[in-house]
Amino acid sequence: MKNTKIYYKKTKFNDPILFVGLPGIGSIGSLVAEHLKNELKAKKFATLYSPYFPYQIIMLKKGTFRLVSNRFYYAKGGKGKNDVIILLGDAQPLTPEGQYEVNERIVEFFKQLGGRRIYTIGGYSPVAQYIKAPKVFGLATDPEMIDYIKKNGVTPTNITGMSVLGSAGMIVAFSKKHRISAACIMGETGMLEVDPNSAKAVLQVIGKMLGRELKLGNIERLQSETEKMLKEIEETSQSLMFPPPETRGKPKELPGYIR
Amino acid sequence: MKNTKIYYKKTKFNDPILFVGLPGIGSIGSLVAEHLKNELKAKKFATLYSPYFPYQIIMLKKGTFRLVSNRFYYAKGGKGKNDVIILLGDAQPLTPEGQYEVNERIVEFFKQLGGRRIYTIGGYSPVAQYIKAPKVFGLATDPEMIDYIKKNGVTPTNITGMSVLGSAGMIVAFSKKHRISAACIMGETGMLEVDPNSAKAVLQVIGKMLGRELKLGNIERLQSETEKMLKEIEETSQSLMFPPPETRGKPKELPGYIR
Amino acid sequence: MKNTKIYYKKTKFNDPILFVGLPGIGSIGSLVAEHLKNELKAKKFATLYSPYFPYQIIMLKKGTFRLVSNRFYYAKGGKGKNDVIILLGDAQPLTPEGQYEVNERIVEFFKQLGGRRIYTIGGYSPVAQYIKAPKVFGLATDPEMIDYIKKNGVTPTNITGMSVLGSAGMIVAFSKKHRISAACIMGETGMLEVDPNSAKAVLQVIGKMLGRELKLGNIERLQSETEKMLKEIEETSQSLMFPPPETRGKPKELPGYIR
Amino acid sequence: MKNTKIYYKKTKFNDPILFVGLPGIGSIGSLVAEHLKNELKAKKFATLYSPYFPYQIIMLKKGTFRLVSNRFYYAKGGKGKNDVIILLGDAQPLTPEGQYEVNERIVEFFKQLGGRRIYTIGGYSPVAQYIKAPKVFGLATDPEMIDYIKKNGVTPTNITGMSVLGSAGMIVAFSKKHRISAACIMGETGMLEVDPNSAKAVLQVIGKMLGRELKLGNIERLQSETEKMLKEIEETSQSLMFPPPETRGKPKELPGYIR
């Protein structure tokens, strides 16, 4: 396998919008895309494989597995409404060359499906501490798109010189090249590998953009588990600094953690 | 040399089965493939070279050498029985691109020989301690194959999200793409770089699958040496913690170790 | 995107001279090129993108951004004088292959514009301490060029075996191959990531070569800020070694720093 | 520059023998090749450049430079005697792909010149200590060559599983593929980055093979300097362990060291 390939079922779309949520900072892209897929009951119609992905298969239930991939799901929007396409997956390309090739392929594939708008989801991590009330930041290909995301609660980034790494940024750049309107929507986050609180803030923005109330129960459950865990860690580290005699040497076991 | 190449003697096979045992976790693949090759008195008929392998030659006896390679051996199965092909070698490809290219080449080559079934051998390392009674785990391309390995003593993996790295996983993935039935058979292991005990468990499964009793004397000798060595290490580390006066500063020399 | 590409507006040039100032030792290349661009009021006419660059976009003002790139600017020289082209950018290629490809492309592109002379700007760091009165060192493709830079205040390098890494060196090497006269001009520097003092020394040489007085106000402001900061660091580290009681534990905050 | 290229002056050779001495263990290859070049007054006739080499230029005298390269020199053997070709250079390829490509190109180029015998020079480092009386080890493509080097004082390697990294090994492997008789000649060495003593042992073997007494004055001077330096280091480290009062805190400066 020498080249990146997309296998897909031919499907007709009504002016589809693409949401891209791949692994990255705070797992915000993955959390948002997974949640959207479930809420919209989206169906898989395409799979992207690439020799620039990690050389792994991933175990599934009962002796089954899949090769590392990125997967496209879709949900019909209904009369007069845009269809929604969601891209999620196990990994981003590992090398610069891979990032440049795969991310442009994603944009070209979506364009070929008739798409004209892309939102990539990422995390923005200005400080190394948990953010209770995360803002949502964004940048975009054109002034109209910047205005549009601003109206939906996104703060345009304004720090010259900071960079966005990986697919979330690259796909917006290749969108510009291919004259597709695109924005990178980033939940503010810090310290956590999986930040459902920040993902929730992004989902609220997306709900507004889709003119559709998204149920957030699942993500909120994850959020309260995370916050409970953070509180326990805090207490544990305090009690480790000043341990009462009976717990010395018995570090408290922490609850499991998804990635 | 810009491409992966397989040099081979034209050979006719009767519905051959491929066993793949390359370097990896616990050296289980290598131990199993080497043992099978010897037990079945298999003969080399093909060699794979690749610019993605380490750039080394390997010294052999009396001033001879070989370039790093993967090598195919075969044993005729006899009347009505499948021929057996064994793939073993010095290394796996070093880069993602190499893994994607070489592992698919292996599947394509085997398909071209008329093969329809592949078993890759690997190690599965859930904990960092020596496993006295290792289980054999497995995953496969299709439900029939999962049933088949289950009947032969393999426990289907059932942990969503764990991954299998390298050839053992990738070859099964490419088998699926090329509509070849394949399974990845993994001996449970931990801590050891070379684990003959786990390899023995896998060989017992393979013996069942081949309907053939495999002599395990060599691997059992290696196993008892390893366990003796482990016991000595344990005693040494205890005696290092509480050394009797006469051995202070004289660390006990450990027996040699194959890789 | 599989290949390096240069997008450009067709422009006619009068025997143009190219100055190359890319990120590197002491940021001298970047400082000099940025300063030249501003002083000569040069205009962008070409942009180079490459899959060998970092896979990032860079935030600009108010929600805008750019993909990592190298950019060509030009300033007309006026009657009888050479036009000046300036190459600056966000990054150098990340891999050897990338360096060999992109740097030769730059030379070929410039040759295609009718150019016959190139100066690359870099830093030369013989010792790890701040250099108050930095020399400017240089090497070149041909004896005439070596004579020419010597006349303009550059000391030819004379240490067999030292090497110049990256674009500053590679572009001069590819110039030689394509029979373009080129020199690598290096400001002496040490310890600092951004050394405006050394950049100033290089700009004085360039001013001479262009027969044109360059205003150095901006770079001098940066230089005095840097020297002030260095003095404060020195005092801080001394006072940290012998801190007066009232400041113990309160490390002094240092002023911001450009990169 | 996307491909490895060899630029050369057309030259006729009388059944040439190639000696390859590139940077590597103990710098033995480089020392031997450089010495041979000087002793035989060999002349440069070809230069190899590759995008797999480090992206550097190397300063030479008075503002001149060269791009990192491998260079071929030749010396006429005189009536009835083989011409000698020597390959030396600044670096080996940095990546596996580069090693596989460049080393095969070297063999193909030499074959195209009519060559039928290659000796690569390397170091063999079994222990981490200075070797006073280094042996010369070797491996080869065919039994005749093994016999031949044995007769000239080389001990055939006999440790199955050890490997030879880089050009010294790869060129012998590609020689075999292209049906050229080749041997890898390795000076025993340990600990030193530059080991003239081991290089001398190899040069004595080569002198025998060429039926020609090689002057070894230069290499012996380097050897005695190295041994003097080693003795001083030894004394210094002893005196540092038990320093006389007057030298405490004054580590003795060591003489310069070539690389």
- CB B175 within 8 Å of CB B169: no
- Encode pLDDT of C97-151 as tens digits: 999 999 999 999 999 999 999 999 999 998 888 899 999 999 999 999 999 999 9
- Could you tell me which chains touch chain D, where touching means 3 or more CB pairs under 8 A? B, C
User: What integer pLDDT is reported at residue B250 of this predicted model?
Assistant: 41
C235-245 per-residue burial string, b: 16 or more CB within 10 A, e: under 16: ebeeeeeeeee
Residues of B in contact with D96 (CB under 8 A): 51-55, 94-95, 98
Using a threshold of 3 CB pairs under 8 A, tell whether chains C and D touch.
Answer: yes
Residues of D in contact with C150 (CB under 8 A): 63
Low-confidence ranges of chain C (pLDDT < 70): 239-259
Angle between helices C217-241 and C196-210 (to 10 degrees): 160
For residues D103 and D86, give the distance between their C-alpha atoms in angstroms, rounded to a whole number.
15
Give the one of C99, C103, C146 whose C-beta lies nearest to D63's C-beta. C146
Report CA-CA distances (Å) from A220 to A198, B229, C111: 11, 53, 60
Residues of B in contact with D151 (CB under 8 A): none
Residues of C in contact with A96 (CB under 8 A): 51-55, 94-95, 98
Residue type, A135: K
For residues C223 and C194, give the distance between their C-alpha atoms in angstroms, rounded to a whole number.
9
Query: What are the residues facing B163 on neighbouring strands?
Result: A58
User: What integer pLDDT is reported at residue D87 of this predicted model?
Assistant: 98
Query: What are the residues facing B120 on neighbouring strands?
Result: B20, B184
Q: Which tokens in the block code for residue C40?
A: 């000569």
Size of interface B-D (CB pairs under 8 A): 87
A173 Cβ neighbours under 8 A, 6+ residues apart? C57, C65, C66, C67
Q: CB distance from D67 to chain C under 8 Å?
A: yes
- CB D34 within 8 Å of CB D88: yes
Distance of residue A150 Cα from the nearest chain B Cα, in angstroms: 37
Dihedral over alpha carbons A59, A60, A64, A70 (to 10 degrees): -80
Residues of A in contact with B99 (CB under 8 A): 51, 55
User: What integer pLDDT is reported at residue A78 of this predicted model?
Assistant: 85
Parallel, antiparallel or unpaired: strands A56-59 and B163-165: antiparallel
User: What integer pLDDT is reported at residue D222 of this predicted model?
Assistant: 92
Q: CB distance from C162 to chain D under 8 Å?
A: yes
Q: CB distance from A52 to chain B under 8 Å?
A: yes
- CB A20 within 8 Å of CB A164: no
pLDDT bracket for residue B240 (50, 70, 90): low
User: What integer pLDDT is reported at residue D128 of this predicted model?
Assistant: 82
- Could you tell me which chains touch chain C, where touching means 3 or more CB pairs under 8 A? A, D
Q: Verify whether the Cβ–Cβ distance A65 to B164 is below 8 Å.
A: yes
Largest CA distance in chain C: 68
pLDDT bracket for residue A126 (50, 70, 90): confident
Q: CB distance from C62 to chain A under 8 Å?
A: yes
Q: Which residue has the tokens 């940290």?
A: C240
Using a threshold of 3 CB pairs under 8 A, tell whether chains C and A touch.
Answer: yes
Give the one of B1, B54, B57 whose C-beta lies nearest to D104's C-beta. B1
Higher pLDDT, B237 or D185: D185
- CB D83 within 8 Å of CB D113: no
pLDDT bracket for residue A242 (50, 70, 90): low
Give the one of D1, D65, D68 whose C-beta lies nearest to C139's C-beta. D65
Query: What are the residues facing B99 on neighbouring strands?
Result: none
Parallel, antiparallel or unpaired: strands D70-75 and D43-49: antiparallel
Using a threshold of 3 CB pairs under 8 A, tell whether chains D and A touch.
Answer: no
For residues C109 and C11, give the distance between their C-alpha atoms in angstroms, rounded to a whole number.
13
Q: CB distance from C94 to chain A under 8 Å?
A: yes
A 10 A CB-CB count for A218 gives: 14
Q: CB distance from C256 to chain A under 8 Å?
A: no
Q: What's the predicted TM-score (pTM) here?
A: 0.89
User: What integer pLDDT is reported at residue C133 of this predicted model?
Assistant: 93
Q: CB distance from D32 to chain B under 8 Å?
A: no
Q: Verify whether the Cβ–Cβ distance C51 to A160 is below 8 Å.
A: no
Best residue in C160, C165, C167, C171 for a mutation probing chain D (most D CBs within 10 Å): C160
Residue type, C115: G
- CB C212 within 8 Å of CB C206: no
B95 Cβ neighbours under 8 A, 6+ residues apart? B52, D96
Q: Verify whether the Cβ–Cβ distance A165 to C62 is below 8 Å.
A: no
User: What integer pLDDT is reported at residue C239 of this predicted model?
Assistant: 67
* pLDDT above 80 for B158: yes
Dihedral over alpha carbons B53, B54, B57, B59 (to 10 degrees): -110
Distance of residue B50 Cα from the nearest chain D Cα, in angstroms: 8
Residues of C in contact with A103 (CB under 8 A): 55
- CB B145 within 8 Å of CB B81: no
Q: CB distance from D54 to chain C under 8 Å?
A: yes
ipTM for the whole complex: 0.88
User: Which DSSP category does B77 fall into?
Assistant: -
- CB A19 within 8 Å of CB A186: no
User: What integer pLDDT is reported at residue A202 of this predicted model?
Assistant: 98
Give the one of B139, B161, B162 whose C-beta lies nearest to A64's C-beta. B139
**In sequence order, which ranges of A120-216 are alpha helices (DSSP H)?**
143-151, 167-177, 196-210
- CB C35 within 8 Å of CB C84: no
Q: Whose CA is closest to A210, among A104, A86, A111, A106?
A: A86
Residue type, D113: L
Distance of residue D195 Cα from the nearest chain C Cα, in angstroms: 19
Residues of C in contact with D57 (CB under 8 A): 139, 163-164, 169-170, 172-173, 184
Report CA-CA distances (Å) from C40 to C80, D55, D116: 17, 31, 61
User: What integer pLDDT is reported at residue B241 of this predicted model?
Assistant: 61
Q: CB distance from C194 to chain A under 8 Å?
A: no
- CB A20 within 8 Å of CB A87: yes
Distance of residue D183 Cα from the nearest chain B Cα, in angstroms: 9
Q: CB distance from C52 to chain A under 8 Å?
A: yes
For residues D26 and B95, give the distance between their C-alpha atoms in angstroms, rounded to a whole number.
29
For residues C54 and C239, give the distance between their C-alpha atoms in angstroms, rounded to a whole number.
41
Q: Which tokens in the block code for residue B152?
A: 């032969």
Range from A74-78, A195-199, D77-81 carrying the lowest mean pLDDT = D77-81
One digit per residue, pLDDT tens: chain D, 259 residues?
999 999 999 999 999 999 999 999 999 999 999 999 999 999 999 999 999 999 999 999 999 999 999 999 999 998 889 999 999 999 999 999 999 999 999 999 999 999 999 999 999 998 888 899 999 999 999 999 999 999 999 999 998 889 999 999 999 999 999 999 999 999 999 888 999 999 999 999 999 999 988 999 999 999 999 999 888 888 887 766 655 555 444 433 333 332 2
- Encode pLDDT of D10-60 as tens digits: 999 999 999 999 999 999 999 999 999 999 999 999 999 999 999 999 999
- Encode pLDDT of A127-168 as tens digits: 888 899 999 999 999 999 999 999 999 999 998 889 999 999
Higher pLDDT, C126 or B20: B20
Q: Verify whether the Cβ–Cβ distance B55 to D138 is below 8 Å.
A: no
* pLDDT above 60 for A47: yes
- CB A186 within 8 Å of CB A138: yes
CA atoms within 13 A on the CB side of A244: 5
For residues D23 and D112, give the distance between their C-alpha atoms in angstroms, rounded to a whole number.
25
User: What integer pLDDT is reported at residue D257 of this predicted model?
Assistant: 32
Mean pLDDT of B88-99: 97
Q: Verify whether the Cβ–Cβ distance B61 to D160 is below 8 Å.
A: yes
Size of interface A-B (CB pairs under 8 A): 87
Q: CB distance from D149 to chain B under 8 Å?
A: yes
Q: CB distance from A138 to chain C under 8 Å?
A: yes
D250 Cβ neighbours under 8 A, 6+ residues apart? none
Report CA-CA distances (Å) from A84 to A18, A153, B178, C161: 6, 20, 32, 60
